[in-house]
Chain A
Amino acid sequence: MIFLALASIWLIGFGLLRWMFPRPIRWSVHNVLLFSLGIGAGAGIASCLWFVFLAAAGPSFAAWPWVGAAAAIAVLAIVLARRQGTLIAWAEGEAPPRYIRIVFGAAIALAAISFLAAVSANPHGEEGAWSIWNLRARFLFRAGAFWRDAFSNDLRWSHPGYPLLIPGLVTLCWKLAGQESTDAPIAVAFLFALGTAGITVSALGALRGKTQAFIGGILLLGTASFVSLSAALYGDVPLSFYVVATVALLCLQDRHPQDLRFSLLAGLMAGFAAWTRNEGVAFLGAIVVARAITVLRFRDRGPLLRSLFLLLAGLAAPLAVVVYFKARVGGPDDASFLSPSAILQNLAYPGRWILTIQAFVLALLKFGAFLIPIALFLALYWYVVRFRVESSDRPALTTGSIALLLTLAAQLLMTILFSGNLPVELNTSLERYLLQLWPAGILLFFLASGPLQLTAEKQPPKSKAAKRVHSAIRP
């Protein structure tokens, strides 16, 4: 039943996307991208609506008829859509060599096996998952009329101010299935990891071609901490899903400036990022600022300005849910326990800055649990392949890069300002901060990198005249 519930939720997202970007149902990069985006769209819509109904009508609200009806409408939208929207196709380029395809397949298999091995050993996830996300879901599922106990001040240690996309989705699955099971958070984690990889590969495929897409996919699926944090059932990979979805959609927007639905959808994804984790709120602010900077920076302002407005329109609804939750339902955030003078003291103490910078440099070198620091490998890749950015990609690349840098800066600043035990916080958070931005970072890196030449260039066929000359001079 849990898998049926999740399938219905995914169908809502996929149906919405198929309605926005209709194309025939067949195996294509277009449909892979929509399938992947549908995971987050369905999860975000279902979670937001579940919370709105919970806050308005209470926990006795029967969810099945509504979810069923929405899924049925989505199926109708998928089946009956005859319109032809913008086509997302593979970018032109040389076909990936056989060994790249084999390694890509191996990376998918290894990541899936590792995920399954980790969750079967630890079905409740790591401590941060069960003591925060799954604990909240249990309260919301078990407490009935007392569901607001989930945000009690007595549970301060479990961050009752964190947003509810993941616990809400898990609770909704349990409600629809009529039982509590660790299958729900595990399936949610798996779907978000699958969707993140799907968006990264398909968006790169549409922007740069199959070869760069497969290499980007290998790098993401080969990031051990991407797999381990997914299997830990933390909220970091779902957040990375929404970050890469927003950035990918804005990249596609700048390739197809006539179709502003990409920006609307990007705004929706950024809004869901804020509904996933507090760091998502920082990303939401950063992407709006970055897009505004892009509007000012580039000459062709008309389409970019329209894109900015649509981005704002898209994020309005999820942001309203987040604001209502923070103002009326959620418990206090960590920042609210510190007095302004303590925050100023933290800000002014140079030791905290030095410690943070030191830890950040180390985290960059250790990131991803790669056997060799991946930062060095990317530097080598850049040295060999170099960057070559198409003029049509420059606005998106500017928006994405500024947004990621601003988000990271905001995360580090929050840590310096609000963290009680800074060394412990840095030790446990920096890897996760980087991972939240990593899939979008891979997307932007391979979007900017120059063309790859992995197969020998074919010699043009010799003309008959050339053959005659060649045979004449042969001894």
Chain B
Amino acid sequence: MARHKFVVIALAAVALCSTFWFLLDVVGAVSHRQIFGVAAFESRFDGLRKTIQPHSVFGYLSDNSPNDPTDQAEFYLAQYTLAPAIVKYTENEPLIIANFHSNTPDFKLLQQHKLGIVQNFGNGVLLCRKRGR
């Protein structure tokens, strides 16, 4: 009986402590603001999102460096925010969404990619068009 009791209590203790540890992790992540901000990202794109029509297709440009690990996640977030439009990580579309991390557009980068601004939605979100089209 004592052996059964020991193994059951040990199992229960490990299980309870593990969930409690997870709860501490969650609380720690929230208090240290380590959560990836989907809501904040969505509010940045709010202005553009309101103009989106279903079945439209956009290209995508970002000022992230090519090896930045957040670049892919930000592209996915842009698609998530702008659905039901389709966002493609390419500049070969008539309209391109630029995702910059400063309020003032990076004109040098736009010039480099031969893009002209169609509309600036603020917060670093711009709708651009390829020059010469």
Contact = CB atoms under 8 A, between A and B. Distances in A.
A221 interface: yes
B62 interface: no
B39 A123 contact: yes
A111 interface: yes
A455 B4 CA distance: 10
Contact of B1 (A118, A149, A456): A456
Contacts of A100: 8, 12
Interface in A102-118: 103, 106-107, 110-111, 113-114, 117-118
A227 interface: yes
A469 interface: no
A453 B73 contact: no
A369 B26 CA distance: 13
Interface in A80-127: 99-100, 103, 106-107, 110-111, 113-114, 117-118, 121-124, 127
Interface residues of A, number: 59
A335 interface: no
Interface in B11-48: 11-12, 14-23, 26-27, 29-30, 35-36, 38-39
B84 A146 contact: yes
B8 A215 contact: yes
Given A138-B83, A149-B86, A222-B15, A117 B7 contact: no
Given A124-B38, A155-B79, A384-B7, A374 B14 contact: yes
A135 interface: yes
A214 B35 CA distance: 34
Interface of B: 1, 3-12, 14-23, 26-27, 29-30, 35-36, 38-39, 54-55, 57, 73, 76-77, 79-80, 83-84, 86, 88
Given A121-B35, A130-B38, A155-B86, 16 more contacts: A107-B15, A110-B20, A138-B83, A149-B55, A154-B86, A218-B11, A221-B15, A223-B19, A224-B21, A227-B19, A369-B18, A371-B21, A372-B14, A377-B14, A384-B4, A384-B6
